[in-house]
Amino acid sequence: MQNKNKKFLPFLYLLPTAILLIVFLIVPILYTFYLSFFDWNLIAPTKEFVGMRNYLEVFTDPVNQKVILNTLIYIVFLVVLNFLFPYFISLIVKFFISKMQGAYKVLFFIPSLFSLVVGAMVFTWILNPVSGPLAYVLKNVGISMPNWSNSGILAITVICFITNWKVFGYNFILLLTGLGSIPKNIIDAAKVDGIPKWRLIWNVILPMNQGIAIYVLILTIVQGLQYVFTPINVITTGGPYYGSSNMIYQTYLNAFVLYKTGTSSALAIVTFVIFLILLFIEIRFVERKAKNYA
The pLDDT, as a whole number, for residue 287 is: 62
For a pLDDT cut of 90, what percent of the chain falls above it?
Answer: 51
Q: How confident is the model at residue 192 (pLDDT cuts 50, 70, 90)?
A: confident
Question: Do you find a cis peptide bond into 240, omega within 30 degrees of 0?
Answer: yes
Q: How far is CA 243 from the centre of its chain?
A: 19
Q: What is the pLDDT of residues 14-62, one digit of tens each?
A: 889 999 999 999 999 999 999 999 999 988 888 999 999 999 999 999 9
Q: How far apart are CA 237 and CA 215, in angstroms?
A: 30
Q: List the alpha helices (DSSP H) in the chain.
A: 2-21, 27-35, 53-60, 62-79, 85-95, 101-109, 116-126, 133-140, 152-180, 184-192, 197-200, 206-208, 210-227, 229-231, 247-256, 261-293
The pLDDT, as a whole number, for residue 4 is: 62
The pLDDT, as a whole number, for residue 283 is: 76
pTM: 0.88
Ordered by where they begin, the domains of the chain are: 36-293 (1.10.3720.10)
The pLDDT, as a whole number, for residue 281 is: 80
38-39 and 48-49 strand pairing = antiparallel
Q: How confident is the model at residue 180 (pLDDT cuts 50, 70, 90)?
A: confident
Q: How far is CA 126 from the centre of its chain?
A: 24
Q: Dihedral (C-alpha) 282, 284, 286, 290: value to the nearest 10 degrees?
A: 170
The pLDDT, as a whole number, for residue 186 is: 82
